[in-house]
Amino acid sequence: MNRLYLALDVETGADAFCLLERINQKPAVKVGMELFYREGGRFVEQLVDNGYPVFLDIKVHDIPETARRTLRQIGRLGVELTNVHTLGGETMMRYALDGLRDVTDTTKLIGVTQLTSTDERMLSEELNIKGGLEQAVLRQATMAGRAGLDGVVASVHEARAIHQALGSSFLTVTPGIRMNETVDDQVRTATPKAAREAGVSAIVVGRPITRAEDPNAAYEYYLQEWSRTYETNR
């Protein structure tokens, strides 16, 4: 799996297709909650029908039976990757996976651990989770592995420990990819090179591309950096 997912951080489906028209190839894309709640499943199907591999990032987190029914619906959309939140617990993740497998064997299911906006202070003081970020993420990833999930969403900073504990085939999908130390709501960021050196399976890049003056040039630049690093570390 050698994926760079372009996060469609736009308001409408029309905006998304306008952005994609400015890119000279068909990238793998991430559809998040904002766009999915606006446009729904039909929009996701349109992306799939037009040849765009889709990571549907809606972080399902509910009681087990609702998660199962939700993932059964998601499984009908034809996406290659989707996710639940590991804080829903192991039983919820098992139910979600069962619902997905009721309708498809091809869509991979991963679990969100801690968001890239979470720092040590927030984890300890606001969420009252002790032991530090890496240990918290590793516990959640281990629970996802026991539930049968294909991997997790985690930052670059935890990827190596996850693979050491769960193996190289356990997917790590990493958002917060930047070429510099841009300050925004994501505090645990990294470069494509750092991601590959940490053994990350796939990266997600959004605003550095979607807000660029030339999105195609920005996409090509990130893709080259990721691919170059990938080839170097094969």
108 is annotated as an active-site residue: no
CA distance 11 to 124: 33
Half-sphere exposure of 234 (CA within 13 A, CB side): 8
Among residues 30, 59, 108, 130, which one is catalytic? 59
**CA dist., res. 136 & res. 77, Å (int):** 32
Q: Which amino acid is at 40?
A: G
Angle between helices 33-49 and 13-21 (to 10 degrees): 60
Active site residues: 59
